[in-house]
Amino acid sequence: MPHSVVVRTDKETTKVRMVFDAPSKGKGHKSLNDCLTPGPPLNPRSLDVLLRFREFEYAFCSDIQGAFLTIGISEEDRDYFRFFLFPGKQDSNSYKILRMDARTI
């Protein structure tokens, strides 16, 4: 699957991040998104949310988008999710991917 590395030196926690191109198709090949079985929609219908909003006396809302952008990779599978950077011929760095971008799927 085509991918690239995004380096953000201004970030404190995630300076290096992998970006995968899941919808891309190679010549004569399927994309990752073509191979995955689509499941049922997990987002509730807007009408259902609006009707339930008035069900109780108190309601609250918040912006939790940042909490659900990634999916954790289990400890035993992290060795299979590695990538390498070769900035020069003599030095190379190996990194483990700890969280997978949910937008890949």
The pTM for the full model equals: 0.34
Length in residues, the chain:
105
Tokens of 75: 């400890």
Range of the domain at 31: 1-37
Res 86: pLDDT: 66
User: Structural domain tally of the chain?
Assistant: 2
Kindly indicate the confidence band of residue 104, based on its pLDDT and cuts at 50, 70 and 90.
low
Within a domain: residue 52?
A: no
Cβ within 8 Å of residue 19, ≥6 positions away: 3, 4, 5, 6, 101
Residue 24 lies in a domain: yes
Note whether residue 44 is domain-resident: no
pLDDT digits (tens, 9 = 90+) for 55-75: 888 877 776 666 556 677 788
